[in-house]
Structures are given as C-alpha cells and as structure tokens.
C-alpha cells in the first residue's frame, strides 16, 4: 500500500471541503492528519469527505466525515455534493447512493450542474437529538444567552438531521451577531450532550431564510448544508415558512443559494445547490503531509 492518496480541494457555497479517495485501502484519515491539514492555510477545511469502498450491497461508497478538530461528523450536505461532483466526473454516473454512520444518502447531479442530496427524515424527539432534558415539544426549547430579562438569543428550535442542531430565530441580519463569541458556549452547552450545530436564522419571506452557522467541531463556517436543512424544517414546523424555501447563507462568499424542500409525501429533506472544484493533490492520510498537483484545470474534475 502506498503512503499517499488523491484528494481534491472543493467547496459547497464556500463550505471548505477536502474530498479524499481512500478506496482500495483499509486505513482511515487519522485525527492527527486532519488537525495537521487544517493547520495549513492552503488545506484548512470544514470537513474531510473520505470515500471508502462500499460496505453494503447497492451502495456506491462508504463516506467517513471528519471535522477540522479531528472528530467525526455524522452528516455534511455540502460535502456530499462535492463527492457527487467528483465521482460524476470520474464515472459519468449522475445518481449515487452513499452510506455514512448516519445512514443512507441518495444524491444526483442535474443537467445544470446543481446537485440534490436526500438528507433523510428529520428527528424531533428530545432523546434522539439528543438533549439533556426532556421536552415534549422541541420546536421551542428553554435556552438563552444574555440577560434573563433581555436575552440576545433565546428559545431555539432543536432537531437532528443525523447530527444535532439548534436554530435561534433572529429579527436582523445573522452577520450582526457575535456568533464567534456565542457559538462555542452554545455548541458545548450542557443541554447538548453530543454538542450541537448552532444556527442563527432570519425569516425573509414565507419562502426564504437567511442563516449563519457555528458548526460543531469546525467553528464558524462559510456554509453548512445540514444546518440549512434544519433551519428550513424548523421554519416550516413553527409556521414561519412553507415546506420549500431558498436559503441565503449570509457568510457564503458567493450569492448562490440552497433550495431546501421538506417533502410532505415522505418527510424526506431534499437539499439542492452547487459544488465547486478548486484544485487537487496527494496526501498522507496518517500524517497529513500533502503535495499539490502541478496541473490544475478548472471545472469539475475526477479524483
């Protein structure tokens, strides 16, 4: 077995993704390698999407998802779109079925280059999100930041999209809040025994939201697909919007948007949006040492 593997630097609405090809190998990207890669500005990332050989019949690959602190994540919608674009360029296929620790994900690339990912069904039960306290209704739980008589953030909607989320509703631009200060406190709040993704969501219309996310294990992120899904579902669940919305990710570097539909017929959440190939190289999945390929073409490329 050679030491190095192919990888691609990609992004989904600015969400920094490393797609790593671990097919044909038994080892995994180590936490030490992830931390080393994130420490280098050239390879700093939000998530690593490590593609492994399939474990189940009928699936195309097993995907390990690694946060920039070396911890494992259960879901990453923006990263899944990047995997689809890379594998579609390699194989010519347009539809894929992936297995992760959170379950099965179906995804497809469309003719316009956008990619849809079936993120599965949302989970609302307090003990499955999970929360540390029992709430009969998790669409509004008791949690706040700031003075008790004038909290800065309060009463979030809590749910799981394969990973735990808390959505705080705000009435002004999410970029105007000190999320870099509140995020770590809320991510690690005792209410969330497995930590949580923290999202600020502003309702723009009955069919649109504006969001910003502090991501569990990654910190401030330019975009978070599962958080966008959680915000869309929570908005519909609380009567703020309908079941199909566009998400304006306030921290994303480009004006592209996500479309999220919480399908009524089967409760599945479908996320549609772009993915972008930046460059490719090789890396050592044990140490994190890496080298960029000398040639770098624009557009979608194969691993």
Count of other CB atoms within 10 angstroms of residue 57: 5
Residues 6+ apart with CB under 8 A from 47: 15, 16, 17, 18, 65, 66, 67, 68, 73, 76, 78, 79, 218
68 is catalytic: no
Catalytic residue (one of 68, 76, 82, 229): 76
Q: Which of 42, 32, 31, 39 is nearest to 7 (CA)?
A: 42
CA atoms within 13 A on the CB side of 4: 11
224 is catalytic: yes
- Strand, coil or helix: 246: strand
Instruction: Please name the residue that has the structure tokens 């749910």.
Output: 159
Structure tokens at 67: 């946060």
Task: State in Å, rounded, how far the first CA of the chain is from the last one.
Answer: 18
Instruction: Please name the residue that has the structure tokens 């592209």.
Output: 256
Q: What single string gives the DSSP state of each residue in 174-203?
A: GGGS-HHHHHHHHHT-TT-TT--EEEEEEE
- Strand, coil or helix: 77: helix
For the chain, the farthest-separated pair of C-alpha atoms sits apart, in whole angstroms, at 61
Say which DSSP state 123 is in. Answer: B
Catalytic residue (one of 68, 82, 224, 229): 224
- Cβ atoms of 120 and 110 within 8 Å: the answer is no
- Strand, coil or helix: 279: strand
Count of other CB atoms within 10 angstroms of residue 69: 13
**What are the residues facing 107 on neighbouring strands?**
96, 117
Q: Which of 166, 156, 105 is nearest to 130 (CA)?
A: 166
Catalytic residue list: 76, 224
């Amino acid at each position: 077995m050679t030491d190095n593997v192919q990888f691609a630097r990609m992004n989904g609405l600015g969400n920094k993704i490393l797609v790593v090809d671990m097919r044909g190998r038994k080892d995994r990207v180590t936490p030490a390698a992830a931390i080393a890669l994130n420490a280098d500005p050239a390879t700093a990332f939000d998530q690593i999407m490590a593609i492994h050989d399939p474990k189940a019949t009928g699936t195309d690959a097993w995907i390990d998802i690694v946060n920039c602190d070396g911890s494992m994540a259960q879901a990453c919608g923006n990263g899944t779109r990047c995997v689809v674009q890379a594998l579609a360029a390699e194989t010519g296929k347009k539809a894929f079925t992936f297995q992760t620790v959170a379950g099965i994900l179906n995804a497809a690339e469309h003719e316009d280059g956008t990619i849809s990912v079936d993120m599965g069904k949302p989970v609302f039960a307090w003990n499955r999100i999970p929360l540390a306290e029992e709430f009969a209704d998790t669409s509004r739980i008791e949690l706040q930041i700031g003075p008790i008589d004038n909290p800065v953030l309060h009463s979030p909607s809590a749910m799981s999209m394969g990973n735990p989320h808390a959505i705080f509703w705000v009435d002004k631009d999410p970029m105007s809040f000190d999320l870099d200060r509140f995020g770590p406190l809320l991510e690690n709040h005792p209410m969330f025994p497995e930590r949580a993704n923290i999202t600020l969501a502003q309702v723009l219309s009955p069919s649109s939201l504006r969001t910003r996310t502090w991501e569990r294990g990654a910190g401030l992120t330019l975009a978070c697909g599962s958080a966008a899904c959680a915000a869309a579902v929570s908005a519909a669940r609380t009567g703020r919007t309908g079941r199909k919305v566009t998400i304006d990710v306030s921290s994303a570097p480009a004006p592209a948007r996500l479309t999220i539909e919480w399908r009524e017929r089967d409760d599945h959440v479908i996320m549609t949006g772009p993915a972008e190939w930046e460059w490719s190289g090789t890396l050592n999945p044990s140490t994190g040492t890496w080298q960029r390929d000398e040639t770098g073409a624009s557009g979608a490329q194969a691993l």
